[in-house]
Amino acid sequence: MSVIIRKTVPEDFEAILPLLEKFPLPYIKRRHWEKLFEISQSVPEAFPGFIMEDSGNAVGFLGLIFGRRSWNGKTIKTVNTTSWIVLQAYRGRSVFMLTKLLKIQDAVFTDLTPSKEVYSLISRVGFKEFETHNRLFFSLPLPVRNKNRIERITNKEDAQVCLTEDQFALFSDHQQQFCRHLILKAEKGNCYIILTRMVRRKIPFIFGQVQYISHPEVFRSILPEAGGMICRAAGVPVLGVWERYLKGMKIFMSVRRPLPFPMMYYGPKEFENNLDTLYSESVVLNI
Amino acid sequence: MRDKLIDFFRHHSSYQPEPDENLFETGVLDSFGIVEFLDYIQSEMGVEIPVDEITEDNFSTIDNIIRLIKEHC
């Protein structure tokens, strides 16, 4: 047995695909998985993940989605782990994929959808929880206060006018057809929101999930009507907002749902409040 | 130190490995086992292994682990 772990390159896709197809996600097709191997142009050192090989055969994969963000005046890499799979006979070595990952310098690492086993392992190496619940809002016809408006951004020209440089980079990186870009205009100021529209199994309608809120305090200032406004602007009857954006607010006619396992991060605590789900499988695979 | 480590692994896996036996091939050590083992040597010996050095080579045998621990004592 000669087992090695190395960085993957896009050409490894064909070797890794049979492993990815072992996930119980029948609605994720080859063309979706291929997106994990498209390298982010905004992070020059990005790569698709780590592969574990035994005598040249792929026996494990840890997918990585890179982003570059400016938080608290510092520019850092975000590295989200995804689609971690290791064949049973090699699981004893899984931790070495994790330790390879943690050697990446100047980065904050996240795992947004850990399985029970992964949650247990990454907790033990020092990952911390940063989100445990999603809050669901519904497209209710609540009265909207006069000065509050919402606008959808659909083209780069408008985006350049109303977004900051950092926000424009997020806009450019999220041009998939299922992404929606909205500007919420309130008395307290403006707030840029990115959400994805997704079809969930067993849910007979399109579901919206907020992935990023530039100014959560502005968003919170016009709750509960902001929920319905965003639903209507994005064309979704139900909208999920991670609870961290709500700071414990009790919100009329909304539902709090626990995640199967908490979202986890590893890195300086000073960035915990800045973490979002923009560079993740939730957006890349639209799941 | 060797006896202490052999005791740890025997307790962890109900198998007494030889000092030069591969701990992964014999199933004595797995991913959770390594994390437990790192906790153990930190609390019992005050040794902290940097993440850079948590590699399969360094943890493949008891002899290699002893060498690694001595480097960090």
pLDDT at A167: 94
Q: What is the mean pLDDT of residues B57-67?
A: 92
Strands (E), chain A: 3-7, 49-54, 57-71, 74-86, 107-111, 128-138, 149-153, 179-186, 189-199, 206-213, 238-242, 255-266
Taking residue A82's Cβ as centre, other Cβ atoms within 10 Å add up to: 21
For residue A283, pLDDT over 90 is answered with no
Distance (Å) from the C-alpha of residue B25 to the closest C-alpha of chain A?
Answer: 8
Q: How many CB atoms lie within 10 A of CB A24?
A: 5
Q: Please, are residues A196 and A286 in contact by the beta-carbon 8 Å criterion?
A: yes
Contact B55 A93 (CB under 8 A): no
Q: Pick from A1, A94, A103: which is nearest to B31 by CB?
A: A94
| Mean pLDDT to the nearest integer, A187-208 | 88
Question: Which range (A140-149, A233-242, A262-271) has the least confidence?
Answer: A140-149
Inter-chain residue contact A92 with B27, CB threshold 8 Å: yes
In this structure, are residues A140 and A230 in contact, taking their beta carbons and an 8 Å threshold? no
B51 and A93 within 8 Å at the Cβ level: the answer is no
A94 touching chain B per CB within 8 A: yes
Residue B19 C-beta-side C-alpha neighbours within 13 Å: 8
Average pLDDT, chain A: 91
Encoding tokens for residue A134? 């999603």
CA torsion, ordered A208, A209, A213, A216, to nearest 10 deg: 90
| A101-106: long-range pairs with CB below 8 Å, 24+ | A101/A50, A101/A62, A101/A64, A102/A266, A102/B51, A103/B51, A103/B52, A104/A77, A104/A79, A106/A76, A106/A77
How far away is chain B from the Cα of A101, in angstroms, using its nearest Cα?
Answer: 10
A43 CB-near residues (< 8 Å, 6+ apart) = A66, A67, A68, A77
Interface confidence (ipTM) of the complex: 0.80
Query: Residue A105 corresponds to which tokens in the numbers above?
Result: 């310098």
CA–CA distance from A134 to each of A5, A72, A79, A111, A262 (Å)?
35, 25, 22, 16, 10
**Mean pLDDT computed over A209-236:** 92
- Which pTM was predicted? 0.88
Candidate from B31, B52, B55 with C-beta closest to A91: B31
pLDDT at B50: 86
Among A75-79, A201-205, A256-260, whose mean pLDDT is lowest? A201-205
Residue type for A25, please? Answer: L
Q: Are B29 and B23 in contact (CB under 8 A)?
A: yes
**β-bridge partners, A238:** A138, A207
Query: How high is the pLDDT of residue A1?
Result: 64
